Amino acid sequence: MSWQEIIGRCEVRFRIRVTGPVPGAGASRVFFATRVRQDVVLKVGLDETAVIREVNALEELSGRGAIRVVDCDPSIPAVLLERAAPGQPLASVTDDGRATEIFCSVLDRLDPRPATGTHESIEQHVSAITRYQETRGPSGPLPFPWVARALEFLRGLVASTDRPVLLHGDLHHGNIVRHGNGWAVIDPKGLRGDRHFEVIQYLLNYPRRGGDVDLVLRRRMAMLTERLALDAERMARWGVVKGVLDACWALEDGTDWHSGLEAAERFARCLVASESQAAREWMKEGTSAVSGRSWRRNDATFHGGC
């Protein structure tokens, strides 16, 4: 079916009129539309499972800052959402301290509760690391001590999560949008697990906003620790896991994996700074194992966001 046919089917099914694409929208196709004097957003191009996941997560997070689902049809597959207006993303707030304040208030409002629906677990979500270990192992391109360390951290973090909650799963600067006088959350993946994982994608994005990468990361983590009573060491360990996960995903997609490893290393430096004896020891061991930092890009340039 062509895009025109899909949109036509949605217009009939949801009784809407599509007015045009949302500028700059990503992988799935997102359109502005109207329905009986109501402004809505139509999202198509996701597969059926992704639509069901997104709708389940939005409905469970409803009343806690998530955008409202107006209708959905997994058979198309398509979802119709209330339109956030004026709709600017959190990325438009360039003062990093202010953006992190807003992020904290959004996360606080999401008020983590035990997941009631069937959502993917964090272990399933990060399974690309295990896949890498099993299929590529020490002979693959990633420095293996980092892969092993990420898996060790993952096991410890999962075993010590006594209260798995529903997570948005992709809570970054682009998925928090201005809505009236406040902010709304869009585009959840819907995961079940440790709340500390929820902040990692925010910490990874725009890593140089307002200072050098280490300074920005530590300042954000300090705010999250203070405002949301999160544990800095758990955040840093999840950061190492996510950095290695991003590297594994990049390899699976045939794209550059270095920035994932660079992120893992940034979080590892926070662990060392937190004066954890164990962290200092493994960093020493990790450094010797990646001696000469041979995994780095030749030009050693960091290509993070602004």
Residues that bind Mg ion (CB under 5 A): 175, 187
- 105 class by beta-carbon count within 10 Å (0-12 exposed, 13-18 middle, 19+ buried): middle
Kindly give the residue spans of alpha helices, DSSP state H, lying in the chain.
3-14, 48-60, 96-110, 122-125, 127-135, 144-159, 200-204, 213-228, 232-253, 258-273, 277-289
Sign of CA dihedral 279, 196, 202, 146: positive
* Interaction partner, residue 289 (ligand ATP, Mg ion, none; CB < 5-8 Å by kind): none
Q: Which is nearer to ligand ATP, 26 or 63 (CB)?
A: 26
Looking at 74, 87, 145, 304, which residue binds ligand ATP (CB under 6 A)? 87
Closer to Mg ion by CB, 187 or 198: give it: 187
In the region spanning residues 158 to 217, those forming contacts with ligand ATP, defined by CB under 6 A, are 174-175, 177, 186-187
Whole-number minimum distance, CB 187 to Mg ion, in Å?
Answer: 4
- Name the minimum Å distance from CB 213 to ligand ATP: 23
Residues 12-51 within binding reach of ligand ATP (CB under 6 A): 22, 25-28, 30, 41, 43
Report the nearest approach of Mg ion to the CB of residue 210 (Å).
23
Among 89, 140, 145, 210, binds ligand ATP (CB under 6 A): 89
Q: Mark residues 118-157: x for contact with ligand ATP by CB under 6 A, - for none.
A: ----------------------------------------
**Would you say 53 and 187 are in contact if contact means Cβ atoms under 8 Å apart?**
no
Fill in the amino acid letter for 3. Answer: W
**Which residue's CB is nearer to Mg ion, number 175 or number 201?**
175
In the complex, least distance from residue 108 CB atom to ligand ATP, rounded to whole angstroms: 21
Residue 2 buriedness (CB in 10 A; 0-12 / 13-18 / 19+):
exposed
**177 touches, from Mg ion, ligand ATP, none (C-beta below 5 to 8 Å by class):** ligand ATP
Distance CA 201, CA 280 (A): 25
86 SS3 class = strand
Residue closer to ligand ATP (CB basis): 61 or 177: 177
The strands making up 165-167's β-sheet, listed across from edge to edge, are 120-121, 191-193, 165-167
Nearer to ligand ATP by Cβ, of 31 and 197: the residue is 31
d(CA 284, CA 79): 49
Residue number with CB closer to ligand ATP (25 or 228): 25
Smallest distance from Mg ion to CB 52, Å: 17
Q: State the binding partner of 81 from Mg ion, ligand ATP, none, CB within 5 to 8 A by kind.
A: ligand ATP
Residue 41 φ then ψ, to 5°: -125, 130
H/E run at residue 71: strand 69-73
Q: Residue 29 CB, nearest distance to ligand ATP (Å)?
A: 8
Contact indicator for 22, 89 with CB cutoff of 8 Å: no
Which x/- pattern over 44-83 shows residues binding ligand ATP (rule: CB under 6 A)? -----------------------x-------------x-x
- DSSP 8-state secondary structure symbol assigned to residue 30: E
Length of the chain: 306
Closest CA to 269 of 213, 199, 225: 213
Helix (H) or strand (E) holding 182: strand 182-185
Q: Measured at CB, which residue is nearest to Mg ion? A: 187
Sites of contact with ligand ATP (CB under 6 A) = 22, 25-28, 30, 41, 43, 67, 81, 83-84, 87, 89, 174-175, 177, 186-187
